[in-house]
Structure 1
């Protein structure tokens, strides 16, 4: 807090136009940024409050939904900050606008990757469902369609998210500095969310480990507790609880087919597939809605900037 006030004060005294700013304004900006960080911290703590036993069972469709919802909560806190400091996006300098717009593009790209992972799970679900229909008449063919869900290698070049351009020192006002500080927190949390989500859906650690490299440069203190809480689970390559249950149920049915006792096992898999499908639908709708919101916000900002330039 003290360090931030010192940075803001120094920035005020070194503005190129040498306008005088009352110290009270510095305090207001600092307090607004601190309030934003407090809001973000509360959102993260709420995410961490879900603490099942065993700990590995935190990786569920429900928790992924909470992670994605966190993006909306952080954005809401960010917009609240802009209102408090009376600094709408259309008043930003070019560097901040470019950074925010690029972040929006990254989110859209990452949401497409999430949709791709969900599509893979959906295809496996259909294969299981088709296998169920073959149990009675063609058990050997049914077994071919009941193979466990395996990790899907991510084709997303997450390292490409690293923006080599350092914007430090390019901001011409204290409000720009506050916006930049807030965007650092927002981006680090946003990228962390997608690292967790993509790793959980794919069943491999690569997306999370690469995303950790991306967010390391942001040096976000707010993320430390969250990362420490999840690192051992995600980095072990744990898969979603629902995927584990579906695989176990499919394996049980395969064993039952071999021994000629399929009734109970088939009913169990059918029930789990029904639950799995509903959870997938909810998550797919959430991803689609988030994609639409990010795209609409980005387009609205671009339109506003164009109108201001006219």
Structure 2
């Protein structure tokens, strides 16, 4: 019963997190952080509930075990995908940062490093495995703003008036880096908690099977 509740929350939340409707507001770092805060809260509350009501693993029904393991598997897969996307963003940030060091002495080379950040692959619904068709809404608001700043700098380099555009991109990169770092810590923390809980559950199940 309790795993069904947790799994129901999973089903309720991830269509919101992964399937924005065409024309809806572009998601942001803050929006994503709030999603992970909710996930962390759900996992913590569930673990506390199991302890408070004295519902150890050896009393769980087979269906409940399968539901929890399936839930945690999909969540870990999602977190790994997010970590991969964050690494992709780090590479793009470094490319923009390199452009800032090159635009005065090597403007043509700097422009090559100001290519817009593209979504890494396609976002998928991990329950239905359906590709989203609206690619523009896959881009974070902050990424879109960063792309606009990079495009402005590239245009300014061509026109020979790049100092203001360079300062704008530098400022946005600094803010973006801090936001990304905060999200990375949140994702890594949640991954470690879910992975540890899943591992503990599997060890408990194996131990129960060994007992006469």
**Shorter-chain TM-score: what band?**
0.7 to 0.9
Q: Where in structure 2 are the equivalents of 1:187-266 lying within 5 Å? A: 199=123, 207=124, 210-211=125-126, 213=128, 235=134, 237-238=136-137, 239-266=139-166
Q: Across the two proteins, how many residue pairs are aligned to each other?
A: 196
Give the drift of 1:110.
1.8
Two-structure CA RMSD over aligned residues (Å): 3.1
Q: Structure 2 unaligned runs (5+)? A: 18-22
Deviations 1:118-173 (A, max 9, x none): 1111111110000111001100000000011122214xxxxxxxxxxxxxxxxxxx
* Map of 1:62 onto structure 2: 30
Q: Structure 1 unaligned runs (5+)? A: 1-28, 49-53, 155-198, 200-206, 216-230
SS of 2:25's partner is: helix
Give the drift of 1:89.
2.8
Cα distance change of structure 1 residues 293 and 80 upon mapping to structure 2, 3 Å threshold: closer
Distance 1:272 1:95 in 2: 49
Distance 2:37 2:109 in 1: 41
Distance 2:29 2:136 in 1: 16
Deviations 1:72-116 (A, max 9, x none): 222234345545654333311233213312322222222111111
Alignment partner of 1:142 is 2:42:
no
Distance 2:141 2:207 in 1: 49
* Map of 1:127 onto structure 2: 95
Tell me, yes or no, if the aligned pair for 1:90 and 1:301 is still in contact at 8 Å: no
Cα distance change of structure 1 residues 277 and 71 upon mapping to structure 2, 3 Å threshold: same
